[in-house]
Amino acid sequence: MAKYSEEFKLNLVNEYLAGPLGYPRLAQKYGLSSHGQIARWVRAFQAFGKEGLRNREKNRVYSVQFKLDVLHFMKQTGASYQDAAIEFKMHNPTLIVKWKQAFLAKGAGGLRTKGRPSMAENPKKKPAKPTGTMSREEQLERENELLRLEIAYLKKLDAFQENPNAYLEKHKQRWHSNSKKKDSD
């Protein structure tokens, strides 16, 4: 269950946009422990409208390649977690924080989806093995898979470094600065 309702978030965002109160005063007024959450709601509302404030009932699953693209985009452009989330049409920038931590700790393998495997019509049951023991063949297969992922990532990195505009055009992931100053008239 979500901690804050969509209506509460919308009212708070509208009050911020319409009134003289800043993030810290609004947080104090509504008893929120951090004003950073209000700032994220305002940015999400400005980027996606009411949809940006909607509570998600179903978790979305992102591919390893998508996660790598987001992290690569952040590294190359210096974008914040919030900017990257908006650019990739994500509503939860904290996911990117978790992806980065997993990538730094375990490499590309740390970005694999965790959790329950999907239900298949004919599930293939593997014989039970003691945890932590892999045959030499399985170890080599795992190492090969990790090396393939690393090579694919490095190839994309090289292509991006050679010609960032062509790479971004090819993948339709142009970055538009959301930090442009608004006219103060």
Is the per-residue pLDDT at 179 higher than 50?
A: no
Only one residue has tokens 């949809």, namely 51
Q: 149, 177, 173: which is closest to 160 by C-alpha?
A: 173
pTM of the predicted model as reported, rounded to 2 decimal places: 0.47
Is the per-residue pLDDT at 171 higher than 70?
A: no
d(CA 151, CA 145) in angstroms, rounded, equals: 10
* % of the chain at pLDDT higher than 70: 75
Task: Report, as an integer, the average pLDDT of 68-78.
Answer: 89
d(CA 22, CA 136) in angstroms, rounded, equals: 60
Is the per-residue pLDDT at 177 higher than 50?
A: no
> Domain locations in the chain?
6-53, 64-112+138-171
Across the chain, mean pLDDT equals 78
Predicted local distance difference test score (pLDDT) of residue 110: 84
Q: What is the pLDDT of residues 13-57, one digit of tens each?
A: 888 888 787 888 888 888 888 788 888 888 888 887 887 777 665
Predicted local distance difference test score (pLDDT) of residue 55: 67
Over its C-alpha atoms, the chain yields an Rg (Å, rounded) of: 21
Kindly state the DSSP code that residue 50 receives in the 8-state scheme. Answer: G
How sure is the predictor about 160, in pLDDT bands with cuts at 50, 70 and 90? confident
d(CA 85, CA 154) in angstroms, rounded, equals: 23
How sure is the predictor about 148, in pLDDT bands with cuts at 50, 70 and 90? very high
Is the per-residue pLDDT at 172 higher than 80?
A: no
Q: Where are the alpha helices (DSSP H) in the chain?
A: 6-18, 23-30, 36-48, 64-77, 81-87, 93-106, 136-162, 164-171
